[in-house]
């Protein structure tokens, strides 16, 4: 008996269950000619073409529209072709039966019948096609690598990325001083080619200057995992010091590889006593300028012209006084994974620093870095020109939990402009590590020692003018120590950054230090900062700052009060109290109110500063007034202007890669994690910053969708190549939300479960048990086709015109009734 029961239960579990439609509405529904067979199946879905995210072995590989049909179980099966499989890196030609099929025709059988152990499943809810593929069937496989076939070179665009800032200062004698600064990074993309120009414009009182820093043409070299650059640019500065050049350069691009190593850029920290103007120069060019509020500041969005080369930072206070310090900037310790090679080859003419008297000879430079195993990396290279030759060789060693260290030596022979020849060596030691156990982060620690006869390529090309003030020419560099360190101590964050450099045949030194400590005490943020700078023959400059920040969320949402005390070497002390905060739902608007008092001339000052992230640009403005009747007005705007196939779109400041998003005319659509970004009147928006060669997911903020906008898909994935402008679309529907009551000519309502589709639109819905259909994003006229079976008698068509009722708000749910006529009558 038990055996018979087990067999009976097994038989019940094995067969397909059928849910009778009459169970929903009794016998009345069973008398209607409705076909619900598709929905009675466990995985039943409507066949069609769906925009699909494709993953293989849990890795994203593509995003495209794929056609699906129903199999015997009602589940959707993709219509894949051998050509698609090849693009996804599958070894089609290794499987004879699969290789013989037409390249662009769908497979006749499931993929697993051609490739053993392969399987394909489609998740309708997330619109994701998941492919499980044996590793032996994949051409190139890295766990975190995006297939090169998925890299998107983007669409043709013309764009400019601008940052404009200015200030107007009037003193107590009513004299007015004004200054403006414009930073332009412009470009054009066509296919895989990128043309770029980096220029700046400055104006101060009656003087102005326009500088073209770099112009270059760039293209990916996929087979070499490298970038080709022709024009004006700079070398990477990993083995030798970074050099500006005018010529051609081929360099490997690690971001094309899995586990890529990101580039290094310093964080510049400083202290401002008032609403100040901060300028950053590298190689003589002003590469950054902005206005900051009183107190400590951080610059984290620096766009550098080279990968090494110290940064000269100038803080110009509201009263015109200036503070200077140098931020060291160089590459980190050199390490590579086993078997990986980084290389760079340059054939070009040397470009001297701006306003520097120097020779600009033709030169050739090559460098290579090779990872031997998990512990050792070897690197070296050479530089040669008519009057200069140098060879470099070194080793990087992985120290496990202690970090990574590299050491190298450069041998150089230089024939100087005064006909003197010098031979010398330069030894370098670099160290970097994040020690998790002690929460210590060495961004970079390095030491360089050079003999008396050693000259870098840049120093060797300086022209001799017999000036005693020319340190770099008359006194060759002896040693240099550089450190960037952050550490957590007793729940406090401590940081120090600095360098010291001395020269042969003189006791004078260059030195710069920035340090500080941050701590939270009972919800109050406390910070102490110190800066010291000594350059060339100028006297040293020092400043000490103590600050507090207290959140005021209980009384004023998203706000905090601040107090800052700063004092300089010359005895000038400034007290500053302020109120700061953000407004609007996504914190697009920020504000700062400040009151200051200084013992310098006994002056008091008041200031207000605000910034706003709009969909078209970032705006900022500030005003300060002092008791001596001096005033300062500061202002700025930054953003991008992009001309693309769908029109011209204004945006927030652009990154190297960006996305052009179209919502098919729907305006006001916002995006998750993108402050202030939304579609414009034409339904277009710019997502300003993407990561190259990686999957970037763009998501619609569904909670903020306008009432007259509906969308089927809320997330899209893009994989841009370097400097690409990729285009993507969301299927947004703009129009009314409607409840339609559908009936047939004989008075019967449309059967429950009937599928209704809007003609010429990718809109559809299912009729409920009362013959009511809900649609979103439709216009005032609707052409509708309804189907509840396969025969002609199980189809009908309705043309609906919504009444323009004044009491129905745009985007509100309208109601209408319509007669659905048989398709045969409609055709007649």
Over residues 644-673, the pLDDT tens digits come to 998 999 999 999 999 999 887 778 888 888
With cut-offs at 50, 70 and 90, classify the pLDDT of residue 227: very high
CA 493 – CA 646 distance, rounded (Å): 48
Distance of alpha carbon 814 from alpha carbon 738, whole angstroms: 5
Asked if residues 729 and 803 have their Cβ atoms less than 8 Å apart, the reply is no
Q: Would you state the pLDDT for residue 33?
A: 57
198 pLDDT more than 90: yes
Is the pTM higher than 0.85? The answer reads: no
Best CA proximity match to 767, nearest among 776, 777, 757 = 757
CA atoms within 13 A on the CB side of 438: 13
The pLDDT value given to residue 26: 46
Contact between residue 385 and residue 351 where contact means Cβ atoms under 8 Å apart: no
As given in the structure block, the two tokens for residue 474 are 């008359």
Q: Which of 93-107, 461-475, 645-659, 733-747 has the highest mean pLDDT?
A: 645-659
- For residue range 535-566, what is the model confidence (pLDDT) as tens digits? 766 778 888 999 999 999 888 888 999 998 98
Residue in 123, 352, 121, 116 with CA at minimum distance from that of residue 246:
352
Residue with tokens 């050099």: 243
Highest mean pLDDT range out of 127-136, 266-275, 326-335? 127-136
Q: Return phi, psi of residue 757, to 5°.
A: -125, 140
Most confident of 228-237, 281-290, 571-580, 735-744: 228-237
How confident is the model at residue 226, as a pLDDT?
93
Confidence check: pLDDT of 633 > 80: yes
Range picked from 50-64, 351-365, 809-823 for highest mean pLDDT: 351-365
Residues 344, 249 contacting (CB under 8 angstroms): yes
What is the average pLDDT across 54-77?
Answer: 81
Averaged pLDDT for residues 430-448: 68
CB 106 within 8 A of CB 83: no
Look over the chain and give the mean of its residue pLDDT values, rounded to a whole number. 81
6 pLDDT exceeds 50?
no
| Least confident among 24-38, 68-82, 104-118, 394-408 | 24-38
Does residue 447 contact residue 471 with C-beta atoms inside 8 Å? no
Tokens read off for 69: 């049909």
| 123-137: average pLDDT | 83
User: Residue 398: which of 338, 474, 316 has the closest Cα?
Assistant: 338
Which of 802, 760, 767 has the alpha carbon at shortest distance from 783? Answer: 760
User: Measuring CA to CA, how many Å separate 500 from each of 309, 310, 328, 543, 657?
Assistant: 14, 12, 9, 18, 37
Q: Could you tell me if 80 and 111 are in contact, meaning their C-beta atoms sit under 8 angstroms apart?
A: yes
Give the 3-state secondary structure of residue 786. Answer: strand
Question: What percentage of the chain has pLDDT greater than the value 90?
Answer: 24
Q: Provide the pairing of β-strand 276-282 with 285-292.
A: antiparallel
CB-based contacts of 416, cutoff 8 Å, min separation 6: 387, 422, 455, 460, 464
Range 347-380 burial, b when 16+ CB lie within 10 A, else e: ebebbbbeeeebbeeebebbbbbbbeeeeebbbb
Residue-wise pLDDT for 480-528, tens only, equals 888 888 877 777 888 888 888 888 877 778 888 989 998 888 888 899 9
| Separation of alpha carbons 278 and 268, rounded Å | 11
């Amino acid at each position: 008996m038990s055996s018979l029961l087990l067999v009976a239960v097994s038989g019940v579990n094995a067969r397909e269950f059928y849910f009778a439609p009459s169970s929903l509405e009794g016998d009345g529904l069973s008398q209607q000619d409705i076909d619900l067979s598709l929905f009675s199946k466990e995985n039943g879905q409507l066949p069609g073409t769906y925009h699909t995210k494709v993953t293989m072995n849990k890795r994203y590989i593509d995003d495209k529209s794929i056609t699906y049909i129903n199999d015997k179980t009602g589940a959707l099966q993709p219509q894949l072709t051998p050509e698609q499989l090849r693009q996804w890196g599958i070894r089609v030609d290794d499987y004879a039966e699969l290789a013989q099929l037409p390249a662009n025709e769908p497979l006749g059988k499931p993929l697993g019948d051609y490739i053993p152990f392969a399987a394909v499943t489609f998740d309708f809810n997330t619109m994701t096609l998941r492919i499980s593929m044996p590793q032996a069937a994949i051409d190139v496989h890295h766990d975190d690598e995006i297939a090169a076939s998925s890299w998107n070179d983007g669409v043709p665009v013309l764009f400019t990325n601008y940052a404009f800032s200015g200030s107007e200062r009037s003193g107590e004698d009513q004299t007015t001083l004004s200054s403006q600064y414009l930073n332009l990074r412009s470009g054009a993309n066509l296919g895989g080619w990128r043309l770029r120009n980096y220029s700046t414009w400055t104006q101060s009182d009656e003087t102005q200057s326009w500088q073209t820093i770099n112009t270059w043409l760039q293209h990916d070299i996929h087979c070499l995992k490298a970038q080709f650059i022709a024009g004006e640019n700079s070398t990477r500065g990993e083995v030798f010091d970074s050099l500006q050049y005018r010529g051609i350069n081929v360099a490997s691009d690690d971001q094309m590889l899995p586990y890529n190593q990101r580039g290094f850029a310093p964080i510049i920290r400083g202290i401002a006593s008032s609403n100040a103007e901060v300028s950053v120069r590298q190689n003589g060019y002003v590469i950054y300028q902005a206005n900051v509020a009183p107190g400590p500041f951080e610059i984290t969005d620096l766009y550098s012209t080279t990968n090494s080369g110290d940064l000269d930072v100038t803080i110009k206070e509201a009263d015109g006084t200036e503070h200077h310090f140098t931020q060291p900037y160089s590459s980190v310790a050199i390490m590579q994974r086993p078997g990986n090679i980084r290389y760079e080859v340059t054939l070009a003419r040397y470009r001297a620093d701006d306003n520097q008297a120097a020779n600009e000879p033709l030169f050739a430079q090559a460098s290579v870095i090779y990872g031997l195993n998990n512990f050792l990396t070897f690197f070296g290279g050479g530089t040669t020109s008519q009057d200069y030759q140098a060879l470099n060789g070194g080793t990087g060693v992985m120290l496990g939990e202690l970090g990574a260290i590299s050491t190298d030596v450069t041998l150089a022979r230089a024939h100087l402009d005064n006909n003197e020849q010098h031979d010398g060596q330069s030894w370098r030691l670099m160290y970097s590590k994040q020690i998790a156990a002690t929460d210590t982060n060495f961004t970079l620690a390095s030491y360089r020692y050079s003999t008396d006869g050693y000259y870098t390529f840049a120093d060797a090309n300086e022209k001799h003018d017999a000036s005693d003030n020319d340190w770099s020419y008359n006194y060759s560099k002896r040693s240099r120590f550089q450190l960037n360190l952050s550490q957590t101590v007793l729940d406090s964050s401590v940081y120090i950054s600095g360098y010291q450099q001395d020269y042969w045949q003189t006791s004078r030194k260059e030195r710069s230090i920035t340090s500080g400590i941050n701590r939270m005490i009972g919800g109050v943020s406390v910070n102490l900062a110190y800066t010291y700078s000594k350059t060339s023959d100028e006297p040293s400059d020092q400043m000490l700052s103590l600050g507090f920040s207290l959140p005021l969320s209980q009384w004023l949402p998203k706000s905090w009060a601040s107090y800052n005390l700063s004092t300089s070497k010359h005895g000038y002390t400034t007290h500053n109290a302020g109120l700061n905060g953000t407004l609007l739902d996504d914190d697009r608007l920020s504000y700062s109110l400040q009151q200051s008092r200084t013992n310098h001339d006994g002056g008091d000052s008041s200031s207000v500063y605000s910034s706003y992230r709009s969909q078209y640009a970032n705006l900022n403005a500030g005003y300060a007034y002092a008791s001596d009747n001096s005033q300062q007005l500061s202002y700025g705007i930054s953003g991008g202007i992009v001309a693309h196939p769908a029109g011209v779109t204004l945006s927030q400041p652009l990154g190297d890669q960006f996305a052009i998003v179209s919502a098919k005319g729907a305006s006001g659509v916002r995006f998750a994690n993108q402050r202030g970004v939304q579609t414009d009147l034409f339904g277009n928006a710019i997502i300003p910053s993407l990561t190259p060669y990686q999957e970037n997911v763009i998501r619609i903020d569904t909670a903020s969708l306008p009432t007259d906008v509906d969308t089927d898909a809320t997330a899209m994935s893009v994989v841009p190549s370097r400097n690409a402008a990729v285009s993507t679309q969301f299927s947004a529907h703009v129009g009314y939300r409607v409840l339609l009551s559908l009936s047939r000519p004989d008075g019967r309502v449309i059967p429950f479960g009937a599928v209704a589709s809007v003609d010429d639109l990718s809109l559809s819905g299912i009729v409920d048990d009362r013959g009511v259909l809900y649609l979103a994003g439709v216009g005032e006229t609707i052409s509708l086709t309804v189907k509840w079976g396969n025969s002609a008698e199980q189809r009908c068509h309705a043309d609906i015109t919504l009444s323009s009722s004044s009491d129905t708000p745009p985007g509100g749910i309208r109601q209408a009734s319509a007669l659905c006529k048989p398709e045969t009558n409609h055709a007649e």
